[in-house]
Amino acid sequence: MRDTWESEALRRQMGTDCIGIPGRYSWTLAGDVLIATAIDDPCASRRQGTSGVRWTRMR
């Protein structure tokens, strides 16, 4: 995973800029739910906001 865009508001909220810093994640898809798990991500704010979060497919 690599961030290519972040809003100014998001940078202020996270306190860091993760653009261009790659992170490695595994993904699990069960039905309509996708879960990412961090393998190695040096960007702590992205890891905190992504790893273990459940995304549900919108139809």
CA 28 – CA 9 distance, rounded (Å):
30
pLDDT, mean of residues 52-59:
91
Collapsing DSSP to helix, strand or coil, 48 comes out as: helix
> pLDDT of 26-44, one tens digit each?
999 999 999 999 999 998 8
CA 56 – CA 46 distance, rounded (Å):
19
Quick one: pLDDT band at residue 18, thresholds 50, 70, 90?
confident
CA 2 – CA 26 distance, rounded (Å):
14
Number of other CB atoms surrounding residue 23 within 10 Å:
19
pLDDT, mean of residues 40-55:
90
Average pLDDT of the chain to the nearest whole number = 85
